[in-house]
A = this chain, B = another copy of it.
Amino acid sequence: MGNPTAAMLVIGDEILSGRTRDANMYLLAGELTKHGVDLAEVRIVSDDRAAIIAAVQALSAGFDHVFTSGGIGPTHDDITADCIAQAFGAHIDVRDDARALLAEHYAKTGKELNEARLRMARIPDGALLIDNPVSIAPGFTMENVHVMAGVPLVFQAMVASVLPTITGGQPMLSQTLRVLQGEGDIAPTLGALAEAYDDLSIGCYPFQQDGAFGANIVIRGTEGKRIDAAMTQLARELDQ
């Protein structure tokens, strides 16, 4: 049995326009690897209803878990919750449990729970709330889709809330060998090693630095001893 699979859906014009550099994908990828969940695909779509719904349906059907980031705030461009409801044919409205969380929070801080903020209590029927210790407005899990905020600090807190509820597999381990040899010179060795250790994933990531060619060779797998064996053989064959 392999590890459970996951996909991520990032919703946000600000990344597609080049205004913002994504941080959430990098964070989630690392957390899932530690948790033994294989992140197999990421999609980034704009704040567009049809694009969000189509992506949610495709990814929810194709993977064990889907994590979304962005579009659950109080402004007019926050349409994710309604799109998720539509993707699953679920009813959505302001829900009492989410409203109660917001009402308590805004009462404490002296801010008005206006119509815009109430949008953040729109949760599809049947969804479970995801705790948000940073700014209270919750995310939610609808079937296998975990819907989270785009603000990195809040996203990170929601990931920490939701990951313990997910059964992970074996954490993926990795070792890296950095060599100052051209990728073309080491390719035959790597190809043979990948065939001999077909239970491991062997990747080669070239770089150029101060005019010299080099590569980081990364060996990944779930069994530390197998990675040790492959890495020892590799280092010997490359005279490292």
Contacts and interface: CB of A to CB of B under 8 A. Distances in A.
A107 to B, nearest CB: 14
Interface in A43-57: 43-47, 51
A110 to B, nearest CB: 11
Interface of A: 13-22, 25-33, 39-47, 51, 73-77, 111, 114-117, 119-120, 134-135, 150-151, 153, 172, 174, 182-188, 190-191, 194, 201-208, 218, 220
Given A44-B41, A204-B73, A22 B19 contact: no
Residue picked from A15, A114, A206, most chain B C-beta under 10 Å: A206
The DSSP consensus for interface residues of chain A is mixed
> How many copies are assembled?
2
A116 B207 contact: no
A139 to B, nearest CB: 15
26 contacts: A14-B203, A14-B205, A16-B42, A17-B39, A17-B172, A18-B26, A18-B32, A18-B33, A22-B26, A47-B203, A73-B183, A73-B204, A73-B206, A74-B184, A75-B204, A76-B187, A76-B202, A77-B202, A111-B184, A114-B188, A116-B184, A116-B188, A116-B191, A117-B184, A134-B208, A151-B206
